[in-house]
Each structure stands twice: as C-alpha cells, then as structure tokens.
Amino acid sequence: MATQIIGSLAINNLLPIQSRGAGQVAFGPVAVPAGYSFLTVQFDLQQVQTLTASFTTAIQLAQDGVNFVDAGGAGLDLAQSGYRLVANQLLRAVDDNLGTGPVRVFGQTFRLPGTELTTRQVKGTVACSEAATSGVTLMAW
C-alpha cells in the first residue's frame, strides 16, 4: 500500500469502501515518515446502514521498524452510540452538541514518539462485528 502525501498528511487507504462480512483485517507494517507526530485510523461510516455493528482498531508501533509494541486501540459500538438510522443514513443523536447531522467517520488519533526517526513502522488490525459497507484510512500528520 503506497503512502500519498497530500499537504501535511501522509495517507494510506487501508481498505477501500466496499461491502465486507464481519471479521478482522490486519494491515501493515506501514512506514511512518519522519517529522510526523500523530497517526489517525478512520472508519468511513457514510454507507453503514445498521445500528448494531461494532468497529474496533488496535495499533502497534515499532520505533526501530522491527520490534512492535502496543500503541493503543479504539472502538465504536453503534448500539451504545446514541446514533440514529434515518432513511438509511447514520445520524448523530438529537442532543449531540454537534447537531443532528450525518455521521461520516469514526476514528482514533495516536501520538507518535520519535518524530525524527526514519525507521518507524505501524501495523494493526481493524474489525467490524457484522457485515457492513465501510472503508478504513490511515493518516499521519
């Protein structure tokens, strides 16, 4: 998977938007360019048409490019989120501070140490508990 540099973002499209069954997908290792301090893993939720799915991610980082350690993870349980499904569109809760508009993405940002290193690598897993149409993007910034 090739990294695209767009402005100040280094972007990897880990999983293109498409319908997938339930399960876990591993990714990486992906090189993290020197100078980048943060990593974000984002699920595209614009075509998700369920309120029962859970999305999770787990990240590992290797400063030396070889020895990976856990860097964190995140999860979204749509059944517990307060989101609503209206006309096949996932919407925020009626009392959400951002308003009731569409839910476009879910993600987690991780701080990356060693910004001067050129050997950093990241790998991990992304998972969905049931069949859904979604995609996953990895961004460093």
Mean pLDDT by 10 residues, the chain (141 residues): 77 90 95 91 94 96 96 95 94 90 92 89 96 93 88
pLDDT at 1: 61
Close Cβ partners of 6 (under 8 Å, ≥ 6 residues apart): none
DSSP state of 12: E
pLDDT at 29: 95
Alpha helices in 21-137 (DSSP H): 78-81
pTM over 0.85: yes
What ranges do the domains of the chain cover?
35-140
Counts of helices then strands in the chain (DSSP H, E): 1, 11
CA distance 40 to 18: 20
Based on C-alpha coordinates, what's the Rg of the chain? 16
Helix (H) or strand (E) holding 41, with range, is strand 38-44
Beta bridge partners of 130: none
Amino acid at site 118: T
CA distance 70 to 99: 35
Length of the chain: 141
Kindly state the tokens that stand for 62: 């290797």
